[in-house]
Amino acid sequence: MNSLCKLSAQEMRQGLLDTEFSAVELASAHLDSIKESNETLNSFITITEDKALAAAKAADTRLSSEKENSPLLCGLPLALKDMLVTKDVETTCGSKILKGFVPPYTGTAVARAEKQGMVVVGKTNMDEFGMGSSSENSAFGPVRNPWDTERIPGGSSGGSAAAVASGQAPLALGTDTGGSIRQPAAMTGIVGLKPTYGRVSRYGAVAYASSCDQVGPFARNIPDLAMLFAAIAGKDPQDATSVAEDVPDYLAEVAEKATSGLAGLKVGVPQEYLVDGLQPDVKSAFESSLGVFEKLGAEIVDVSLPHTEHALATYYIIVPAEASSNLARYDGVRYGHRTAKADTLQELYAKTRGEAFGKEVKRRIMMGSYVLSAGYYDAYYLKAQQVRTLVANDFLAAFTNHCDVIATPVSPCTAFKLGEKTSSPLEMYLADALTVPVSLAGLPALSIPCGLDTQNLPIGLQLIAPAFEESKLLSTGNAFLTEQPFELKPLTSGGQ
Protein backbone atom coordinates (compact mmCIF):
# COMPACT_ATOMS: atom_id res chain seq x y z
CA MET A 1 0.00 0.00 0.00
CA ASN A 2 1.20 3.45 -0.89
CA SER A 3 2.28 5.28 2.26
CA LEU A 4 0.11 8.26 1.24
CA CYS A 5 -2.88 6.13 2.14
CA LYS A 6 -1.72 5.84 5.74
CA LEU A 7 -1.61 9.57 6.40
CA SER A 8 -4.26 11.30 8.39
CA ALA A 9 -6.44 13.79 6.54
CA GLN A 10 -4.67 16.60 8.34
CA GLU A 11 -1.29 15.29 7.22
CA MET A 12 -2.61 15.01 3.68
CA ARG A 13 -3.71 18.61 3.89
CA GLN A 14 -0.25 19.66 4.99
CA GLY A 15 1.38 17.57 2.28
CA LEU A 16 -0.80 19.18 -0.37
CA LEU A 17 -0.03 22.68 0.91
CA ASP A 18 3.68 21.87 1.02
CA THR A 19 3.40 20.39 -2.49
CA GLU A 20 5.00 17.17 -1.26
CA PHE A 21 2.41 15.47 -3.42
CA SER A 22 -0.50 16.57 -5.55
CA ALA A 23 -4.18 15.85 -5.19
CA VAL A 24 -3.94 13.75 -8.34
CA GLU A 25 -1.16 11.66 -6.76
CA LEU A 26 -3.21 11.35 -3.61
CA ALA A 27 -6.27 10.26 -5.56
CA SER A 28 -4.25 7.80 -7.64
CA ALA A 29 -2.73 6.26 -4.55
CA HIS A 30 -6.17 5.68 -3.08
CA LEU A 31 -7.63 4.42 -6.34
CA ASP A 32 -4.76 1.93 -6.50
CA SER A 33 -5.41 0.94 -2.94
CA ILE A 34 -9.08 0.35 -3.74
CA LYS A 35 -8.24 -1.74 -6.79
CA GLU A 36 -5.74 -3.71 -4.75
CA SER A 37 -8.07 -4.67 -1.94
CA ASN A 38 -11.59 -4.33 -3.26
CA GLU A 39 -11.66 -7.87 -4.51
CA THR A 40 -11.08 -9.05 -0.96
CA LEU A 41 -13.05 -6.47 0.97
CA ASN A 42 -15.84 -5.81 -1.55
CA SER A 43 -16.14 -2.41 0.09
CA PHE A 44 -16.95 -0.50 -3.10
CA ILE A 45 -19.87 -1.01 -5.47
CA THR A 46 -18.72 1.70 -7.85
CA ILE A 47 -15.24 3.16 -8.26
CA THR A 48 -15.36 6.61 -9.85
CA GLU A 49 -11.82 6.72 -11.17
CA ASP A 50 -12.25 9.20 -14.04
CA LYS A 51 -14.34 11.60 -12.08
CA ALA A 52 -11.97 11.33 -9.12
CA LEU A 53 -8.94 12.17 -11.25
CA ALA A 54 -10.76 15.10 -12.84
CA ALA A 55 -11.83 16.38 -9.43
CA ALA A 56 -8.28 15.94 -8.12
CA LYS A 57 -6.92 17.93 -11.04
CA ALA A 58 -9.38 20.72 -10.31
CA ALA A 59 -8.37 20.56 -6.65
CA ASP A 60 -4.70 20.91 -7.58
CA THR A 61 -5.50 24.04 -9.56
CA ARG A 62 -7.40 25.43 -6.64
CA LEU A 63 -4.68 24.51 -4.16
CA SER A 64 -2.01 26.17 -6.24
CA SER A 65 -3.99 29.37 -6.53
CA GLU A 66 -5.69 29.57 -3.14
CA LYS A 67 -3.03 27.77 -1.08
CA GLU A 68 -3.76 28.17 2.67
CA ASN A 69 -7.02 29.85 1.82
CA SER A 70 -8.32 26.80 0.01
CA PRO A 71 -10.89 24.77 1.95
CA LEU A 72 -9.35 22.36 4.49
CA LEU A 73 -10.68 19.36 2.62
CA CYS A 74 -9.62 20.46 -0.84
CA GLY A 75 -8.10 17.54 -2.71
CA LEU A 76 -8.81 14.95 0.00
CA PRO A 77 -10.29 11.62 -1.11
CA LEU A 78 -13.76 10.73 0.08
CA ALA A 79 -15.73 7.48 -0.08
CA LEU A 80 -19.54 7.68 -0.15
CA LYS A 81 -21.99 5.13 1.09
CA ASP A 82 -24.09 4.12 -1.89
CA MET A 83 -27.13 5.43 -0.05
CA LEU A 84 -26.05 8.97 -0.96
CA VAL A 85 -27.38 10.27 -4.26
CA THR A 86 -24.70 11.33 -6.73
CA LYS A 87 -25.39 13.02 -10.05
CA ASP A 88 -24.32 10.90 -13.03
CA VAL A 89 -22.96 8.16 -10.77
CA GLU A 90 -24.99 4.99 -10.24
CA THR A 91 -26.62 4.95 -6.81
CA THR A 92 -27.88 1.52 -5.75
CA CYS A 93 -28.40 1.49 -1.97
CA GLY A 94 -26.99 -2.02 -2.20
CA SER A 95 -30.18 -3.13 -3.89
CA LYS A 96 -30.97 -4.87 -7.13
CA ILE A 97 -34.01 -2.64 -7.44
CA LEU A 98 -31.79 0.40 -8.03
CA LYS A 99 -29.16 -1.35 -10.11
CA GLY A 100 -28.41 0.91 -13.06
CA PHE A 101 -30.11 3.93 -11.50
CA VAL A 102 -28.09 7.04 -12.32
CA PRO A 103 -29.51 10.05 -10.46
CA PRO A 104 -29.83 13.45 -12.13
CA TYR A 105 -28.88 15.30 -8.94
CA THR A 106 -26.45 15.26 -6.03
CA GLY A 107 -27.60 15.34 -2.42
CA THR A 108 -26.76 18.22 -0.10
CA ALA A 109 -24.11 16.58 2.14
CA VAL A 110 -22.16 15.29 -0.85
CA ALA A 111 -22.53 18.58 -2.70
CA ARG A 112 -21.13 20.41 0.32
CA ALA A 113 -18.12 18.06 0.49
CA GLU A 114 -17.54 18.46 -3.24
CA LYS A 115 -17.78 22.22 -2.94
CA GLN A 116 -14.82 22.02 -0.59
CA GLY A 117 -12.86 20.35 -3.36
CA MET A 118 -13.11 16.80 -2.01
CA VAL A 119 -12.38 13.99 -4.42
CA VAL A 120 -15.02 11.27 -4.46
CA VAL A 121 -13.30 7.95 -5.14
CA GLY A 122 -16.38 5.75 -5.20
CA LYS A 123 -19.62 4.47 -3.74
CA THR A 124 -19.38 1.98 -0.92
CA ASN A 125 -21.18 -1.26 -0.33
CA MET A 126 -23.82 -1.56 2.36
CA ASP A 127 -26.76 -3.51 3.69
CA GLU A 128 -29.62 -3.03 1.24
CA PHE A 129 -31.28 0.32 1.99
CA GLY A 130 -29.43 0.42 5.29
CA MET A 131 -31.28 -2.58 6.66
CA GLY A 132 -28.78 -4.69 8.49
CA SER A 133 -25.94 -4.68 10.98
CA SER A 134 -23.34 -6.67 9.09
CA SER A 135 -23.23 -5.41 5.49
CA GLU A 136 -24.15 -8.91 4.38
CA ASN A 137 -27.58 -7.88 3.07
CA SER A 138 -26.23 -6.43 -0.15
CA ALA A 139 -27.22 -7.37 -3.67
CA PHE A 140 -23.54 -6.89 -4.45
CA GLY A 141 -22.20 -9.41 -1.99
CA PRO A 142 -21.04 -9.00 1.62
CA VAL A 143 -18.37 -6.56 2.74
CA ARG A 144 -15.44 -8.03 4.65
CA ASN A 145 -13.68 -6.63 7.67
CA PRO A 146 -10.08 -5.55 7.00
CA TRP A 147 -9.12 -6.84 10.49
CA ASP A 148 -10.22 -10.33 9.57
CA THR A 149 -11.74 -10.97 6.19
CA GLU A 150 -13.71 -13.93 7.53
CA ARG A 151 -15.67 -11.40 9.55
CA ILE A 152 -18.21 -8.75 8.88
CA PRO A 153 -17.30 -5.05 9.18
CA GLY A 154 -20.60 -4.14 10.84
CA GLY A 155 -23.40 -2.38 9.06
CA SER A 156 -25.13 -0.97 7.39
CA SER A 157 -22.34 1.46 6.36
CA GLY A 158 -19.83 -1.39 6.36
CA GLY A 159 -18.25 -0.46 3.04
CA SER A 160 -17.44 3.08 4.15
CA ALA A 161 -16.00 1.84 7.43
CA ALA A 162 -13.89 -0.86 5.76
CA ALA A 163 -12.65 1.71 3.21
CA VAL A 164 -11.42 4.09 5.90
CA ALA A 165 -9.98 1.33 8.09
CA SER A 166 -8.05 -0.21 5.19
CA GLY A 167 -6.59 2.94 3.65
CA GLN A 168 -8.88 3.02 0.63
CA ALA A 169 -9.97 6.50 1.72
CA PRO A 170 -9.03 8.72 4.65
CA LEU A 171 -12.60 9.92 5.03
CA ALA A 172 -16.02 8.58 4.23
CA LEU A 173 -19.66 9.43 4.62
CA GLY A 174 -22.24 6.99 5.85
CA THR A 175 -25.78 7.10 7.11
CA ASP A 176 -26.97 6.06 10.54
CA THR A 177 -30.55 5.10 11.27
CA GLY A 178 -30.09 2.81 14.27
CA GLY A 179 -26.31 2.52 14.54
CA SER A 180 -25.22 2.17 10.92
CA ILE A 181 -22.25 4.53 11.34
CA ARG A 182 -21.37 3.85 14.97
CA GLN A 183 -21.42 0.07 14.89
CA PRO A 184 -19.25 -0.43 11.76
CA ALA A 185 -16.85 2.24 13.05
CA ALA A 186 -16.56 0.21 16.25
CA MET A 187 -16.08 -3.07 14.42
CA THR A 188 -13.34 -1.66 12.19
CA GLY A 189 -11.50 0.38 14.81
CA ILE A 190 -12.16 3.84 13.39
CA VAL A 191 -14.21 6.84 14.52
CA GLY A 192 -17.71 7.60 13.34
CA LEU A 193 -20.29 10.20 14.26
CA LYS A 194 -24.04 10.07 14.13
CA PRO A 195 -25.00 13.74 14.26
CA THR A 196 -28.03 15.18 16.01
CA TYR A 197 -31.19 14.60 13.98
CA GLY A 198 -31.51 17.72 11.84
CA ARG A 199 -27.82 18.65 11.98
CA VAL A 200 -27.01 17.34 8.49
CA SER A 201 -29.40 17.58 5.56
CA ARG A 202 -31.08 14.37 4.50
CA TYR A 203 -31.72 15.75 1.01
CA GLY A 204 -30.19 13.21 -1.32
CA ALA A 205 -29.69 10.58 1.37
CA VAL A 206 -32.03 7.83 0.26
CA ALA A 207 -34.73 7.53 2.89
CA TYR A 208 -34.88 4.41 5.01
CA ALA A 209 -36.55 5.59 8.21
CA SER A 210 -36.97 9.33 7.81
CA SER A 211 -37.34 10.20 11.48
CA CYS A 212 -34.05 8.51 12.41
CA ASP A 213 -31.84 8.78 9.31
CA GLN A 214 -28.76 11.01 9.56
CA VAL A 215 -25.74 11.39 7.32
CA GLY A 216 -22.45 11.34 9.21
CA PRO A 217 -18.67 11.09 8.80
CA PHE A 218 -16.10 8.31 9.26
CA ALA A 219 -12.40 9.00 9.87
CA ARG A 220 -9.36 7.47 11.52
CA ASN A 221 -9.00 10.19 14.13
CA ILE A 222 -11.11 12.87 15.71
CA PRO A 223 -9.64 16.03 14.10
CA ASP A 224 -10.16 14.47 10.66
CA LEU A 225 -13.70 13.59 11.63
CA ALA A 226 -14.33 17.15 12.86
CA MET A 227 -13.13 18.59 9.53
CA LEU A 228 -15.47 16.49 7.46
CA PHE A 229 -18.37 16.96 9.84
CA ALA A 230 -18.03 20.76 9.76
CA ALA A 231 -18.19 20.65 5.97
CA ILE A 232 -21.51 18.82 5.77
CA ALA A 233 -23.38 20.20 8.81
CA GLY A 234 -25.94 23.00 8.79
CA LYS A 235 -29.44 23.95 7.75
CA ASP A 236 -30.55 23.08 4.24
CA PRO A 237 -33.68 24.70 2.79
CA GLN A 238 -34.32 21.47 0.90
CA ASP A 239 -34.75 19.44 4.09
CA ALA A 240 -37.59 20.71 6.27
CA THR A 241 -36.29 18.67 9.21
CA SER A 242 -32.81 20.20 9.11
CA VAL A 243 -32.23 22.73 11.86
CA ALA A 244 -30.94 26.29 11.63
CA GLU A 245 -28.51 25.92 14.51
CA ASP A 246 -25.07 27.56 14.12
CA VAL A 247 -22.31 25.22 13.01
CA PRO A 248 -19.27 25.76 15.26
CA ASP A 249 -15.72 25.35 14.01
CA TYR A 250 -15.48 21.77 15.25
CA LEU A 251 -11.81 21.38 14.42
CA ALA A 252 -10.87 24.53 16.34
CA GLU A 253 -12.93 23.43 19.33
CA VAL A 254 -11.29 20.01 19.33
CA ALA A 255 -7.82 21.56 19.06
CA GLU A 256 -8.56 24.04 21.82
CA LYS A 257 -9.52 21.31 24.28
CA ALA A 258 -6.91 18.75 23.20
CA THR A 259 -4.58 19.40 26.09
CA SER A 260 -6.90 20.62 28.81
CA GLY A 261 -8.01 17.19 30.01
CA LEU A 262 -11.56 16.45 31.05
CA ALA A 263 -11.61 17.97 34.52
CA GLY A 264 -15.15 18.74 35.61
CA LEU A 265 -16.73 16.57 32.94
CA LYS A 266 -19.40 14.23 34.25
CA VAL A 267 -19.57 11.01 32.32
CA GLY A 268 -22.84 9.16 32.89
CA VAL A 269 -22.93 5.39 32.76
CA PRO A 270 -26.40 3.91 32.31
CA GLN A 271 -26.63 0.60 34.12
CA GLU A 272 -29.36 -0.51 31.70
CA TYR A 273 -26.73 -0.75 28.96
CA LEU A 274 -24.54 -3.26 30.73
CA VAL A 275 -26.87 -6.01 29.59
CA ASP A 276 -26.49 -9.74 30.06
CA GLY A 277 -25.74 -10.32 26.41
CA LEU A 278 -22.63 -8.15 26.55
CA GLN A 279 -19.52 -10.00 25.39
CA PRO A 280 -17.18 -10.20 28.45
CA ASP A 281 -14.20 -8.50 26.82
CA VAL A 282 -16.49 -5.73 25.52
CA LYS A 283 -17.60 -5.21 29.08
CA SER A 284 -14.07 -5.16 30.48
CA ALA A 285 -12.84 -2.82 27.74
CA PHE A 286 -15.72 -0.51 28.55
CA GLU A 287 -14.94 -0.59 32.25
CA SER A 288 -11.29 0.18 31.70
CA SER A 289 -12.36 3.07 29.44
CA LEU A 290 -14.09 4.60 32.42
CA GLY A 291 -10.71 4.53 34.14
CA VAL A 292 -9.26 6.53 31.26
CA PHE A 293 -11.92 9.20 31.75
CA GLU A 294 -11.14 9.33 35.46
CA LYS A 295 -7.47 9.64 34.72
CA LEU A 296 -8.31 12.61 32.51
CA GLY A 297 -10.10 14.23 35.46
CA ALA A 298 -13.67 13.35 34.54
CA GLU A 299 -16.14 12.10 37.08
CA ILE A 300 -18.03 8.89 36.44
CA VAL A 301 -21.65 8.96 37.59
CA ASP A 302 -24.33 6.31 37.44
CA VAL A 303 -27.38 7.36 35.48
CA SER A 304 -30.59 5.58 34.75
CA LEU A 305 -32.34 5.37 31.40
CA PRO A 306 -35.26 3.26 32.58
CA HIS A 307 -37.06 2.86 29.25
CA THR A 308 -34.03 1.39 27.49
CA GLU A 309 -35.48 -2.11 27.54
CA HIS A 310 -38.37 -0.98 25.35
CA ALA A 311 -36.22 0.92 22.89
CA LEU A 312 -35.36 -1.95 20.57
CA ALA A 313 -38.99 -3.06 20.18
CA THR A 314 -40.05 0.55 19.66
CA TYR A 315 -37.36 1.02 17.06
CA TYR A 316 -38.41 -2.11 15.18
CA ILE A 317 -41.94 -0.78 14.92
CA ILE A 318 -41.22 2.81 13.90
CA VAL A 319 -38.38 2.09 11.51
CA PRO A 320 -40.05 -0.65 9.43
CA ALA A 321 -43.23 1.46 9.32
CA GLU A 322 -41.39 4.38 7.78
CA ALA A 323 -39.35 2.06 5.59
CA SER A 324 -42.46 0.39 4.16
CA SER A 325 -43.64 3.84 3.14
CA ASN A 326 -40.30 5.15 1.87
CA LEU A 327 -39.70 2.07 -0.25
CA ALA A 328 -43.14 2.25 -1.90
CA ARG A 329 -41.65 4.34 -4.70
CA TYR A 330 -39.59 1.42 -6.01
CA ASP A 331 -42.32 0.10 -8.25
CA GLY A 332 -40.51 -0.47 -11.54
CA VAL A 333 -42.43 2.32 -13.24
CA ARG A 334 -39.97 5.18 -13.47
CA TYR A 335 -36.45 3.93 -12.69
CA GLY A 336 -34.53 0.93 -11.47
CA HIS A 337 -35.40 -2.71 -11.91
CA ARG A 338 -38.58 -3.67 -13.75
CA THR A 339 -39.73 -7.25 -14.13
CA ALA A 340 -39.30 -8.65 -17.63
CA LYS A 341 -42.90 -9.70 -18.02
CA ALA A 342 -46.12 -8.68 -16.33
CA ASP A 343 -49.65 -9.01 -17.64
CA THR A 344 -51.35 -6.66 -15.23
CA LEU A 345 -50.36 -3.59 -13.30
CA GLN A 346 -50.66 -5.53 -10.05
CA GLU A 347 -48.31 -8.15 -11.42
CA LEU A 348 -45.83 -5.51 -12.49
CA TYR A 349 -45.60 -4.26 -8.93
CA ALA A 350 -45.56 -7.67 -7.29
CA LYS A 351 -42.98 -9.20 -9.59
CA THR A 352 -40.71 -6.16 -9.74
CA ARG A 353 -40.60 -5.82 -5.98
CA GLY A 354 -40.58 -9.56 -5.38
CA GLU A 355 -37.61 -10.07 -7.69
CA ALA A 356 -35.50 -7.11 -6.68
CA PHE A 357 -35.84 -6.60 -2.94
CA GLY A 358 -33.74 -8.76 -0.65
CA LYS A 359 -35.13 -10.87 2.15
CA GLU A 360 -34.48 -8.43 4.99
CA VAL A 361 -36.01 -5.54 3.07
CA LYS A 362 -39.12 -7.59 2.37
CA ARG A 363 -39.32 -8.59 6.01
CA ARG A 364 -39.24 -4.96 7.13
CA ILE A 365 -41.72 -3.82 4.48
CA MET A 366 -44.12 -6.49 5.69
CA MET A 367 -43.63 -5.62 9.35
CA GLY A 368 -44.03 -1.93 8.57
CA SER A 369 -47.13 -2.39 6.45
CA TYR A 370 -48.66 -4.47 9.21
CA VAL A 371 -48.10 -1.97 12.00
CA LEU A 372 -49.51 0.86 9.91
CA SER A 373 -52.62 -0.99 8.79
CA ALA A 374 -56.04 0.15 9.91
CA GLY A 375 -56.93 -1.31 13.26
CA TYR A 376 -53.31 -1.86 14.28
CA TYR A 377 -51.98 1.67 13.94
CA ASP A 378 -52.91 2.76 17.46
CA ALA A 379 -51.64 -0.40 19.11
CA TYR A 380 -48.28 -0.38 17.37
CA TYR A 381 -47.15 2.79 15.63
CA LEU A 382 -48.90 5.29 17.86
CA LYS A 383 -47.88 3.44 21.00
CA ALA A 384 -44.31 3.18 19.75
CA GLN A 385 -44.21 6.94 19.20
CA GLN A 386 -45.32 7.42 22.80
CA VAL A 387 -42.62 5.09 24.08
CA ARG A 388 -40.16 6.95 21.89
CA THR A 389 -40.95 10.12 23.81
CA LEU A 390 -40.25 8.28 27.07
CA VAL A 391 -36.91 7.06 25.75
CA ALA A 392 -35.98 10.61 24.71
CA ASN A 393 -37.09 11.97 28.08
CA ASP A 394 -34.79 9.50 29.86
CA PHE A 395 -31.80 11.05 28.11
CA LEU A 396 -33.07 14.56 28.73
CA ALA A 397 -33.43 13.87 32.46
CA ALA A 398 -29.95 12.32 32.67
CA PHE A 399 -28.34 15.30 30.92
CA THR A 400 -30.33 17.85 32.87
CA ASN A 401 -29.70 16.36 36.29
CA HIS A 402 -26.65 14.17 36.26
CA CYS A 403 -24.10 14.26 33.50
CA ASP A 404 -22.59 16.02 30.47
CA VAL A 405 -22.05 13.00 28.27
CA ILE A 406 -23.12 9.38 28.49
CA ALA A 407 -20.75 6.51 27.79
CA THR A 408 -21.81 3.03 26.70
CA PRO A 409 -20.39 0.24 24.59
CA VAL A 410 -21.34 0.61 20.92
CA SER A 411 -22.18 -3.00 20.33
CA PRO A 412 -22.69 -5.95 22.65
CA CYS A 413 -20.20 -7.90 20.55
CA THR A 414 -17.19 -7.47 18.28
CA ALA A 415 -17.11 -8.33 14.59
CA PHE A 416 -18.70 -11.71 14.07
CA LYS A 417 -18.14 -14.16 11.26
CA LEU A 418 -19.88 -13.92 7.93
CA GLY A 419 -23.07 -15.94 8.01
CA GLU A 420 -22.95 -16.31 11.78
CA LYS A 421 -26.15 -14.38 12.43
CA THR A 422 -27.86 -14.31 9.05
CA SER A 423 -30.19 -17.15 9.99
CA SER A 424 -31.58 -15.32 13.00
CA PRO A 425 -32.92 -11.84 12.30
CA LEU A 426 -33.69 -11.38 15.98
CA GLU A 427 -30.10 -12.00 17.01
CA MET A 428 -29.02 -9.56 14.34
CA TYR A 429 -31.45 -6.96 15.68
CA LEU A 430 -29.95 -7.37 19.17
CA ALA A 431 -26.64 -6.13 17.79
CA ASP A 432 -28.38 -2.72 17.58
CA ALA A 433 -29.65 -2.70 21.15
CA LEU A 434 -27.14 -0.14 22.42
CA THR A 435 -27.30 2.24 19.46
CA VAL A 436 -31.02 2.49 18.69
CA PRO A 437 -32.13 4.38 21.83
CA VAL A 438 -29.94 7.32 20.75
CA SER A 439 -31.50 7.19 17.28
CA LEU A 440 -35.00 7.29 18.73
CA ALA A 441 -34.01 10.28 20.85
CA GLY A 442 -32.39 12.05 17.87
CA LEU A 443 -29.20 12.71 19.85
CA PRO A 444 -25.62 12.88 18.59
CA ALA A 445 -23.34 9.94 19.36
CA LEU A 446 -19.72 9.22 18.63
CA SER A 447 -18.08 5.85 18.25
CA ILE A 448 -14.40 5.58 19.12
CA PRO A 449 -12.15 2.54 19.47
CA CYS A 450 -11.31 1.67 23.08
CA GLY A 451 -9.42 -1.62 22.92
CA LEU A 452 -9.23 -5.09 21.42
CA ASP A 453 -10.97 -8.28 22.36
CA THR A 454 -9.22 -11.59 22.94
CA GLN A 455 -9.22 -12.23 19.20
CA ASN A 456 -7.60 -8.90 18.46
CA LEU A 457 -10.77 -7.35 17.12
CA PRO A 458 -11.59 -3.72 17.87
CA ILE A 459 -14.09 -2.72 20.51
CA GLY A 460 -16.05 0.52 20.31
CA LEU A 461 -17.02 3.06 22.91
CA GLN A 462 -20.14 5.16 22.37
CA LEU A 463 -20.31 8.71 23.67
CA ILE A 464 -23.69 10.42 23.68
CA ALA A 465 -24.35 14.15 24.18
CA PRO A 466 -27.37 16.45 24.31
CA ALA A 467 -28.73 17.65 20.97
CA PHE A 468 -26.33 19.80 18.93
CA GLU A 469 -23.46 19.28 21.34
CA GLU A 470 -21.30 17.35 18.90
CA SER A 471 -18.39 19.59 19.90
CA LYS A 472 -18.47 18.10 23.37
CA LEU A 473 -18.41 14.60 21.92
CA LEU A 474 -15.52 15.36 19.61
CA SER A 475 -13.34 16.98 22.23
CA THR A 476 -14.11 14.26 24.78
CA GLY A 477 -13.36 11.57 22.21
CA ASN A 478 -10.17 13.34 21.21
CA ALA A 479 -8.98 13.57 24.80
CA PHE A 480 -9.68 9.87 25.25
CA LEU A 481 -7.81 8.83 22.12
CA THR A 482 -4.90 11.08 23.02
CA GLU A 483 -4.67 9.41 26.43
CA GLN A 484 -5.24 5.92 25.07
CA PRO A 485 -4.23 5.87 21.40
CA PHE A 486 -5.53 3.10 19.24
CA GLU A 487 -3.48 1.30 16.65
CA LEU A 488 -5.36 0.69 13.41
CA LYS A 489 -3.66 -2.59 12.57
CA PRO A 490 -4.97 -3.18 9.05
CA LEU A 491 -3.26 0.05 8.12
CA THR A 492 -0.10 -0.09 10.21
CA SER A 493 0.69 -3.71 9.48
CA GLY A 494 -0.39 -3.54 5.86
CA GLY A 495 2.50 -3.98 3.40
CA GLN A 496 4.46 -0.88 2.51
Partner 1 sequence: MIQYEAVIGLEVHAQLSTGSKIFANSGTEAGREPNTLCDPVTLGLPGALPVLNKRVVDFAIKLGLATNCSITRENEFARKHYFYPDLPKGYQISQYDKPICQHGHLLVRVGGEERRVGITRIHLEEDAGKNVHGEHETTSFIDLNRAGVPLVEIVSEPEIRSPEEAGAYMRQMRQIVRYLDICDGNMEEGSLRCDANISLRKVGTEKLGTKVEIKNLNSFRFVERAIRYEITRQTTVLEQGDEIVQETRLWDEQKASTRSMRSKEYAEDYRYFPDPDLLPIVVDNDWIERIRATLPELPEQVYLRFKKGHQLDDYYCELLTEEKHTARYYDKALEVHHNQTALANWITTELFGRLNKENLGMEECPVSPENLGTLVKLIDEDVISGKIAKTVFDEMFSTGASPNSIVEATGLQQISNRDEIGGIIDEVLTQHPEQIAEFRDGKTKMLGFFVGQIMKRTAGKANPKVVNELLMAKLKGD
- Which residues belong to the active site? 81, 156, 180
User: Which residue among 244, 263, 374, 426 contacts partner 1 (CB under 8 A)?
Assistant: 374
User: Which residue among 65, 280, 334, 493 contacts partner 1 (CB under 8 A)?
Assistant: 334
Note whether 341 binds partner 1 by CB under 8 A. no
Identify residues 86-145 at the interface with partner 1 (CB under 8 A). 91, 93, 98, 101, 103-105, 107
User: Which residue among 249, 309, 354, 377 contacts partner 1 (CB under 8 A)?
Assistant: 377
Residue 102 near residue 82 (C-beta atoms within 8 A): no
Interface map 240-279 toward partner 1 (x if CB under 8 A): xx--------------------------------------
Residue 125 near residue 82 (C-beta atoms within 8 A): yes
Residues sharing a CB contact under 8 Å with residue 436, sequence separation 6 or more, in sequence order: 178, 179, 311, 312, 315
Note whether 373 binds partner 1 by CB under 8 A. yes
Which stretch, 142-150, 198-206, 257-265, 459-467, contacts partner 1 (CB under 8 A)?
198-206
Distance of closest approach, residue 383 Cβ to partner 1, in angstroms: 13
Note whether 202 binds partner 1 by CB under 8 A. yes
The nearer residue to partner 1, 204 or 268, going by C-beta atoms, is 204
Identify residues 270-329 at the interface with partner 1 (CB under 8 A). 321-322, 324-325, 327-329
Note whether 447 binds partner 1 by CB under 8 A. no
Distance of closest approach, residue 239 Cβ to partner 1, in angstroms: 5
Q: Which residues pair with 270 in a beta bridge?
A: 303
Which stretch, 140-148, 152-160, 305-313, 332-340, contacts partner 1 (CB under 8 A)?
332-340
User: Which residue among 14, 40, 238, 288 contacts partner 1 (CB under 8 A)?
Assistant: 238
The nearer residue to partner 1, 409 or 442, going by C-beta atoms, is 442
Note whether 239 binds partner 1 by CB under 8 A. yes
Strand order in the sheet with 171-176: 44-47, 119-124, 77-81, 171-176, 214-219, 191-194, 445-452, 458-464, 405-409, 266-270, 299-303
Note whether 442 binds partner 1 by CB under 8 A. no
Torsion of CA 48, 51, 53, 57, to 10 degrees: -160
The nearer residue to partner 1, 252 or 328, going by C-beta atoms, is 328
User: Which residue among 205, 323, 407, 438 contacts partner 1 (CB under 8 A)?
Assistant: 205
Distance of closest approach, residue 329 Cβ to partner 1, in angstroms: 5
Amino acid at residue number 222:
I
Residue 5 near residue 168 (C-beta atoms within 8 A): yes
CA angle 128, 160, 359 (to 5 degrees): 15
CA angle 80, 82, 83 (to 5 degrees): 105
Interface map 348-367 toward partner 1 (x if CB under 8 A): -x------------------
Distance of closest approach, residue 333 Cβ to partner 1, in angstroms: 5
Distance of closest approach, residue 368 Cβ to partner 1, in angstroms: 9
Tell me which residues touch partner 1 (CB under 8 A).
84-85, 91, 93, 98, 101, 103-105, 107, 202-207, 209-211, 237-241, 321-322, 324-325, 327-331, 333-335, 345, 349, 369, 372-374, 377, 381
